[in-house]
Chain A
């Protein structure tokens, strides 16, 4: 059974800092991995999608890496801003399945 874990559960940093969010998964037979953002009371917004054959993806100040062999992914946020405050979720898609398996999320607070 695929399990996804995110560390830390919550993180508070001052504005301008670079930060890393961690995601680990137990079964390396994944199809791809996605990072989402969730604002309070809102649905999920996809940030980055990494195919299983890729090592990383970048979008603006965000960079996500994937190491399938070790079952790890990281989301790097550069020059953090108060608007980055949200819950960040990682999710994997298992090969042959049509569902996302989510971690429990990291609640990020950027202090002005």
Chain B
């Protein structure tokens, strides 16, 4: 059974560009959540996808968007990148039923916006 994987591991972009981050959920998990972790801070909830539909969203602007595919993998898209978007982006998957306390986290993608 493979764990949660994320790609790429690191990414450098310039202000105004667009970025797509990818997450493959753990086998059998149909719920994916995305979190943003700024340096020295705890993760902040961006949104959750359950069976390909958005199932909750945190306090992030619409330029943060997502997708979940039939195989339950997911993408996080960020448009018009800002310097403050520099952070570690974490993906977490959970089993059928979407119980948050059974989330498994991936290693994250570190995004640097210059």
Contacts and interface: CB of A to CB of B under 8 A. Distances in A.
A36 to B, nearest CB: 8
Interface residues of A, number: 24
Nearest to B46: A99
Contacts, number: 59
A79 interface: no
Interface string B35-79: 100001111110010000001101000000000000000000000
A99 B56 contact: yes
Main secondary structure of the interface of B (DSSP, over half): mixed
A65 B95 CA distance: 26
20 contacts: A6-B42, A31-B101, A43-B90, A43-B106, A43-B107, A91-B42, A93-B101, A97-B56, A98-B33, A98-B55, A99-B45, A99-B48, A99-B58, A100-B35, A100-B43, A100-B45, A100-B100, A103-B42, A104-B42, A105-B40
A44 interface: yes
